[in-house]
Chains A and B, each alone.
Chain A
Amino acid sequence: MNGTKVLLVEDELKIAEFVAKGLKAAGAEVTHVTDGATGLKVALEDAHDVLVLDIMLPAMNGIDLMRELRQSGNLRPIIILSAKVDLEDRLESFQKGANDYLPKPFYVEELIARIKALTQRISSESSEAIVYKNLKLDLVSRRVDWQGTSTILSPREFSLLGYLMRAPGHIYSRQQILKHVWAIDFDPETNVVDVCVLRIKRKLNRKNGSPASPIESVRGVGYRLCIEELE
């Protein structure tokens, strides 16, 4: 997301700080304002690619800001960050013009992935495959191509690799992967993530015999898509 202009409207400085840091690290240009009125002013004046908006804001709340913005004809994508997780709150946000909704607490990497998805959608890029350097994952056929090896992944393997590819280099914990791939938010005292990663590695190594793998295990932390190996 090099050069993506993000307007971050968040009154909680400590949250804004690490969000901005994460977005900048991912290559975005971040403008941060702390209240709704300023946020609206900046959003109307400056051209940004995406607006990341908190709901509970001083001066003007996020919902009002969004309504004003949409009424003025601004159709830039908006991602809501909110501590409110009730369905009604989410639905209200979407009704008032939000494109996405991320409940707190969230992972910055997930925010980045969603910003990418939104900006890609806007720029009408092909969404049939995720490509990162020489690793390509076909979203329709679940086929993965890497260093001359082409293989079909099982749904779980596909989901896991796709998840890691959303934020190359970012380390995902086993719990995060479990939650995303198996949709469970408890710890079943399992090594199923390791087994699944191992299966992906084996499939990708089978043909070229190379021990190298696009997935790197980070001891005691989790897994990440290895950016160095893929250079």
Chain B
Amino acid sequence: MKPSFRVVLFINILLASAVIIIANRVAIQTFLPLQIKEELKTELVNYVDECGKFLPDREDFHECIQTSEKISLLKGFTGRYVLCSEKNITNYNDACDSSLSPSIKWEGIKSSTDKQIQYAEIKNGETEWLATNFYGIDKERTVVILSLDDVSLEVSRMLRAYRDKNTIYVLPVLLLLVLLMTWHVFNVAMRPIRQIDKSITTLDLKTFEIKTALVAPYKEFMNIVDSFEALRLRLIQSFEKARRFASDASHELRTPLTILRGNAEALIKDLPNGSDDQIRMQMVISEIDRLVTITQKLLWLSRADANKLKPVFKEINLSDVMGQWVLDAQTFNPNIKLTGEIQPKVTWKCDPDLIHQLIGNLYDNAVKYNVAKAWIHFRLTQDDRGFYLSIENPSSPLPADFEKQAFDRFYRGDDARSRSVDGLGLGLSLCQEIAAVHDAQLQVKVLDNGIAIFTLSNVPIRLI
């Protein structure tokens, strides 16, 4: 089974979306911490600037920080900062040594309180600290240091929690969006293809004419349309050549056949009645007549190919026609048991001559391929959809592909059997063309017991 383009498109869009989401997350995870770090610097400086006035009173400072951090990025800052003082060191750690060391290169920031606040990034072992140098009222230098790793970790955890929580709600919406996007993209992508497809499906397989002009909707489709158009023109040319060949050959053969038959006819008249020569000449005429029939059939087929098999429609009583066929068939072949099941008053608007030819061909087939001249059954039924005309006969063993190929030109079924039967394998093919110009269907079904049933119907046939 062929995969659905819609499904493939959906999977691809889903994959593309997944890649975008992952890339986004990776980007966030890579760049956000850096950004957070920058923000932290600013905030820390602001805190110290804001709350530094309480130093060296650590309690007040702490309270100030606690109040501020509630609305700040620096959540959890309270428990994490360290105050390093030259005089009074609380929760002093190694980083204080570094931050208080004269070798630290401070950068200055002009704070809101017009005090010079400095900050620096210091590294102690594996841990990074952000230090803010603050000079209190008593000119005592206090350095507030904050472990960036700690805060980053905390912020990241918060972000992750937020992100995951978000994902749970966002993912279904995202999937729905992907579905809608797929549907939309599919429609947009398919629109020009559908347009081309619509044109191609109006292609008449006999004349290769298209009823809707084939136009490339976008420039990307010009190649495909041009290629198709070139292919169509080539097909028209070669098909026209083949058709004309059959038609010309059929016409050209008529003159020599006329001469042959005319002379043979004249000879028959000249020869003594009932003489062997006359009989032989009659055999020649019979063969000429066969050739005439073949050229006629070829001509009809070439006309059918060129859509020139124009039926002249007339309402006929199909029941009467079939009834006459059963009667005639009974007189034609008294050895064959003929049965008919003809529903009365079945009418059909058709070309009576063409349909006569069609039924005649089917009957001829039923006689020729009848097993031991056993029986032929004619059936004509009608339901509210249409009529079903069938001719059944027990047939000699038929090849497995018979049902599919019976209507192919020059197909003659089993060679060994058909060699003994006249014909070129054009009759059934012609029958199907006749059915086609009537918008009718002709099908054959071979039952397991070897009974062949040819059915003509003006509605789609579903054979049992």
Query: Which A residues have a C-beta under 8 Å from some C-beta of B?
Result: 12, 14-15, 18-19, 21-22, 25, 83-87, 103-109, 170-171, 173, 175, 182-190, 192, 195, 216, 218-222
Query: Which B residues have a C-beta under 8 Å from some C-beta of A?
Result: 251-252, 254-255, 257-263, 265-266, 268-269, 273-274, 278-279, 281-282, 285-286, 288-289, 292-293, 296, 299, 303, 308, 310, 328-329, 331-333, 356-357, 360-361, 363-364, 367-368, 422, 427
A186-B360, A189-B333, A218-B274 given; A108·B299 CB < 8 A: no
Tell whether, in the assembled complex, residue A188 and residue B255 are in contact, meaning their CB atoms are under 8 Å apart.
no
- List of B residues within 8 angstroms of A189 by Cβ: 332-333, 367-368
- List of B residues within 8 angstroms of A25 by Cβ: 269
Tell whether, in the assembled complex, residue A173 and residue B422 are in contact, meaning their CB atoms are under 8 Å apart.
no
CA–CA, A218 and B262, complex, Å: 19
- List of B residues within 8 angstroms of A182 by Cβ: 328
CA–CA, A42 and B259, complex, Å: 25
- List of A residues within 8 angstroms of B281 by Cβ: 221
CA–CA, A228 and B293, complex, Å: 34
CA–CA, A170 and B285, complex, Å: 14
Q: Which residue in A19, A175, A186, A187 is a CB contact (below 8 Å) of B262?
A: A19
Tell whether, in the assembled complex, residue B269 and residue A84 are in contact, meaning their CB atoms are under 8 Å apart.
no
Min CB–CB distance A34 → chain B (angstroms) = 14
A18-B266, A104-B254, A186-B361 given; A175·B261 CB < 8 A: no
A18-B263, A221-B278 given; A175·B286 CB < 8 A: yes
CA–CA, A22 and B263, complex, Å: 10
Tell whether, in the assembled complex, residue A190 and residue B259 are in contact, meaning their CB atoms are under 8 Å apart.
no
Tell whether, in the assembled complex, residue A171 and residue B262 are in contact, meaning their CB atoms are under 8 Å apart.
no
Tell whether, in the assembled complex, residue B364 and residue A188 are in contact, meaning their CB atoms are under 8 Å apart.
yes
**23 interchain pairs (CB within 8 A)?**
A15-B258, A18-B259, A19-B262, A83-B255, A83-B258, A86-B303, A104-B254, A104-B255, A105-B254, A171-B268, A171-B273, A173-B286, A173-B289, A175-B289, A184-B360, A185-B293, A186-B293, A188-B329, A188-B333, A192-B328, A216-B273, A221-B273, A221-B279
> Assuming A83-B251, A186-B293, what are 5 further A-B pairs, CB within 8 angstroms?
A18-B266, A173-B285, A189-B332, A192-B332, A221-B281
- List of A residues within 8 angstroms of B268 by Cβ: 171, 221
A18-B263, A173-B282, A190-B332 given; A105·B292 CB < 8 A: yes
Residue of A nearest to B312 (CB): A87
Min CB–CB distance A72 → chain B (angstroms) = 30
Min CB–CB distance B380 → chain A (angstroms) = 19
Residue of B nearest to A12 (CB): B255
Q: Which residue in B260, B282, B367 is a CB contact (below 8 Å) of A188?
A: B367
Min CB–CB distance B358 → chain A (angstroms) = 12
- List of A residues within 8 angstroms of B356 by Cβ: 183
- List of A residues within 8 angstroms of B258 by Cβ: 12, 15, 83, 104-106
- List of B residues within 8 angstroms of A14 by Cβ: 259, 263
CA–CA, A182 and B262, complex, Å: 23
CA–CA, A222 and B363, complex, Å: 24
CA–CA, A61 and B281, complex, Å: 34
Residue of A nearest to B297 (CB): A185
Min CB–CB distance B250 → chain A (angstroms) = 9
CA–CA, A208 and B356, complex, Å: 40
Tell whether, in the assembled complex, residue A83 and residue B254 are in contact, meaning their CB atoms are under 8 Å apart.
yes
Min CB–CB distance B248 → chain A (angstroms) = 10
Tell whether, in the assembled complex, residue A220 and residue B292 are in contact, meaning their CB atoms are under 8 Å apart.
no
Q: Which residue in A83, A107, A185, A219 is a CB contact (below 8 Å) of B265?
A: A107
- List of B residues within 8 angstroms of A103 by Cβ: 254
Residue of B nearest to A18 (CB): B262
A14-B259, A83-B251, A83-B255 given; A187·B422 CB < 8 A: yes
Min CB–CB distance B324 → chain A (angstroms) = 10
Residue of A nearest to B289 (CB): A175
- List of A residues within 8 angstroms of B285 by Cβ: 173
Tell whether, in the assembled complex, residue B310 and residue A15 are in contact, meaning their CB atoms are under 8 Å apart.
no
Residue of A nearest to B251 (CB): A83
